[in-house]
Structure 1
Amino acid sequence: MELDLDSLREETEKNLTKNKFRLLVLFSVGILGIFIFIALAPDMTDEEKSKVYRLPLTPQEIYELSQVFSSYTENSYLYVLSLFCFLYLLMQSFAIPGPIVLSLISGTLFGRWVGLLIVTICATTGSTICYFLSDILGKGIIVRAFPDKIQKVHGAIQQQKENVLFYLLFLRVVPIVPNWLINLTSPIIGIPIKTFFLATLFGLIPPNCIHINTGMALSSLGSTEMSYESIALLVVLGVLIMLPPIYMKYNKSKKVKI
């Protein structure tokens, strides 16, 4: 079934400007929150500030960032936890790249299992907020910005419409479709919030676990040798998750032939 984006454009035209403004206000509140956290930050040396107030792009920079935050976690645990959750939710809610860096350092800051719990809650909550922002305010912007991508995701989902939950789990574990795109397009292509929430909650656990383990290896002066193992594990998990819908489809076709 083809998705009628032209009708969606017409439906959202009336409130497009207002919704853009509302999103801008919400995002501005988030940015204001960051400045408040900066103002309340514990005292840092100039060297520590140079490592914190930059975008970490290399394993070494991620390692240095985790070490700075680790040194403050013991004495300012609540502050570090609050800042971590706030940044994760802000980036996930507005589809901003960066949560993976927070996932990488979470194990070093909070421990493997507590870090996984925190990241799972933040990732699921942030993705759900993104879903609702897209549905309520962002639909008109998204259908104009990513029409081709929406159609591709919709086409892929339609091919698996009888096993949408399993397929979404597969996409979360093996991100052949970027997670931010799934978050933005899901309400537009008609994926129910319950299905979206469950697929996000359980589907993001395996990659988050891999990110945390990789980050802990980096923090202990390890290397990125885990990367290839992580990729292989993601592929294996994705294949395993796809087995139930494949089996059900085979079973259904077999019954039809009989």
Structure 2
Amino acid sequence: MQSLSTNNPSLYTLATVNDDAQPLLSPTTPMYGAAPRTPIAPSRPSSRKLIFNAALKMSCIFLLSTLVLGGTLWLALPTLEEQDRPLLRIPKSFEQLQDLNGLLKKYRDIYPYRIVICYVITYLFLQAFSLPGSMYLSILGGAVWGVARALPLACCCVATGATLCYLISAALGPALLTLPKWKARLDRWAVKIQQNKENIISFLIVLRIAPLPPHWVVNVICPHVGIGIVPFWISTALGIFGVTVIHTTIGGGLDEMTSPDDFHLISWKNFLGLSAIVVGVLVPVGLRYWFRGQVADVEIGAEAEEVEEAELDLGPDRTLVVGPRAAGNKKQTPVSEEDEYTDFGSDSDDEDIILEAGPALTSATKSTVEHS
């Protein structure tokens, strides 16, 4: 498993699909009254079978989540009047958004906690399965509770719902890696993530602010390119902050609007605001590279100074230890230049280093040798 993830970051999830569990009764286990069989190599499931199993599991998860959503709304929603029940739906148009806004404001003061629970569970459901309508819910939150309360609530809902999509993709997404097209796309994203590994939070925040790729693509790809769940949640909450400010601010004036044209989603004010967020995110990245360059220059200068000091310390040879002088009138035989050249090489300019001199022979020792 480790070698696969080292060579290609998007292969570790594919390896989990092909790892078959060992049966309790293996083919080599001898049975009573039967000869042992030869081991049979396990066959890996085909790509079509893996995709079918993943689609079946996804259908079950979606059905179970729908039942949880319906049960929560049935328990948490207050008893509605007959004329208000048709207005309770996920908004997909401007008219439905205004109708739902009036309905929630009608019951907001009577059942405040129930309305918040229904809002949160609906938002999580849409984000977990990447369904349309999240923008309208952010605008609706700003209209019902104001920007100060709706902004952190919507950011947490988006980040948590995207994390649910992350987990679903981590569990069922490896089946898509058996398709060459999806595998090649994940490999390209794995290379980009690896290149921005040191600035992964800033990189993911910019991806959330940028219109391309779509957010659901980021949710599906991130678990297969080695991005952890904690940096994913943090980057999603921070990356969606600027857009959520725009949506909740629009919701604050929803009662005075008459058409979707009054939203003014595309404007110079919004563009400059998002650009300021991108610049603020990239400033730490630039400072990190600048300080890294400064540290590298300091290290290079220190190494150059050490080399210069080492060169200055090198000088002519010096006498380390001088032994005692020889006793008596014995004169040392001078050494000719030829003998010196023969014994010590051609470097006549270098001075000899005298490490230690032993005691000289006395005259008594000499006379003893002559009598013998």
Corresponding residue to 1:91 among 126, 132, 153 = 126
CA distance in 2 between counterparts of 1:113 and 1:80 reads 17
Corresponding residue of 2:358? none
Corresponding residue of 1:224? 263
CA distance in 1 between counterparts of 2:283 and 2:85 reads 48
Deviations 1:135-176 (A, max 9, x none): 123332477484465345334323322211111122223343
Corresponding residue to 1:237 among 256, 277, 285 = 277
Normalised to the residue count of structure 1, the TM-score between the two structures is: 0.81
**Aligned-pair distance for 1:226?**
5.7
Q: Secondary structure at the match of 1:161?
A: coil
Corresponding residue to 1:53 among 89, 105, 108 = 89
- The structure whose RCO (Cα within 8 Å, separation 6+) is larger is 1
More deviation, 115-124/35-44: 35-44
More deviation, 143-152/205-214: 143-152
Corresponding residue of 1:25? 60
The structure with the largest helix share of the pair is 1
* Aligned sequence identity (%): 21
Q: 2:80 corresponds to which letter in structure 1?
A: D
CA distance in 2 between counterparts of 1:252 and 1:73 reads 53
Q: 2:213 corresponds to which letter in structure 1?
A: V
Aligned residue pairs total: 256
**Aligned-pair distance for 1:191?**
0.9
CA distance in 1 between counterparts of 2:175 and 2:241 reads 31
Give me the CA root mean square deviation.
3.2
Q: Are the equivalent residues in 1 in contact too, given 2:10–2:226 (CA < 8 A)?
A: no
Deviations 1:189-248 (A, max 9, x none): 111222212212322222222211112222343722364122331122112212221343
More deviation, 236-245/149-158: 149-158
Change (3 A) 1:153 1:65: farther
CA distance in 2 between counterparts of 1:96 and 1:248 reads 38
Q: 1:108 corresponds to which letter in structure 2?
A: A
Corresponding residue of 2:17? 12
Normalised to the residue count of structure 2, the TM-score between the two structures is: 0.59
Gapped runs of 5+ residues in structure 2?
Answer: 1-5, 19-44, 301-372
Change (3 A) 1:241 1:23: same
CA distance in 1 between counterparts of 2:225 and 2:192 reads 11
Corresponding residue of 2:39? none
CA distance in 1 between counterparts of 2:266 and 2:248 reads 12
Gapped runs of 5+ residues in structure 1?
Answer: none
Corresponding residue of 2:233? 197
